[in-house]
């Protein structure tokens, strides 16, 4: 979120090319929602609902990684393919890790 805002308002950082872009709101909102979901998943993981928190994390990462693949042309058009590769790979890793945790927690 910080990089979205800094790029949009100051033209600095890895998203400097988004200076004044009307498209900045999408990234800012998406990253803000990802942060909120991350906090909720973390908090639920600390409760007795660990299996449910792993399911939620698995689904969220599958959605985010799948969205990256579905809209891959956005990374190409914006010239940020390395960012797309790293984030998509990490989402895939988290899907596998959370699926492992779900399988280990049983019913």
Same domain, 28 and 54: no
The predicted model gives 14-36 an average pLDDT of: 91
Q: What is the pLDDT of residue 51?
A: 87
**Are both 12 and 53 inside the same structural domain?**
no
Residues 51-86: pLDDT tens digits?
A: 888 999 999 999 999 999 999 999 999 888 999 999
Q: Are residues 56 and 29 in the same domain?
A: no
| pLDDT band for position 107 (cuts 50, 70, 90) | low
If you average pLDDT over residues 17-46, what whole number do you get?
Answer: 89
H-state helical runs in 1-80:
2-10, 24-45, 50-70, 72-78
d(CA 15, CA 50): 36
Q: What is d(CA 85, CA 97) in angstroms, rounded to the nearest whole number?
A: 18
What's the mean pLDDT in 44-55?
A: 83
Q: What is the pTM of this model?
A: 0.82
Q: Does position 48 have pLDDT exceeding 80, yes or no?
A: no
Do 5 and 15 meet the contact criterion of CB atoms below 8 Å apart?
no
- My answer on whether 58 and 105 are in the same domain is yes
Q: Quick one: how far is CA 75 from the chain centroid?
A: 14
Both 52 and 12 in one domain: the answer is no
| 56 and 94 in a common domain | yes
């Amino acid at each position: 979120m910080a990089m979205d805002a800094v790029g949009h308002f100051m033209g600095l950082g890895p998203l400097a090319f988004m200076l004044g872009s009307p498209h900045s709101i999408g990234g800012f909102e998406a990253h803000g929602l990802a942060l909120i979901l991350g906090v909720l998943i973390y908090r639920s993981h600390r409760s007795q609902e660990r299996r449910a928190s792993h399911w939620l994390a698995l689904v969220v990462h599958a959605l985010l990684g799948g969205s990256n693949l579905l809209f891959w042309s956005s990374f190409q058009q914006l010239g940020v393919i390395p960012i797309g590769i790293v984030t998509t790979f990490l989402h895939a890793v988290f899907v596998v890790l959370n699926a492992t945790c779900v399988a280990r927690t049983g019913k």
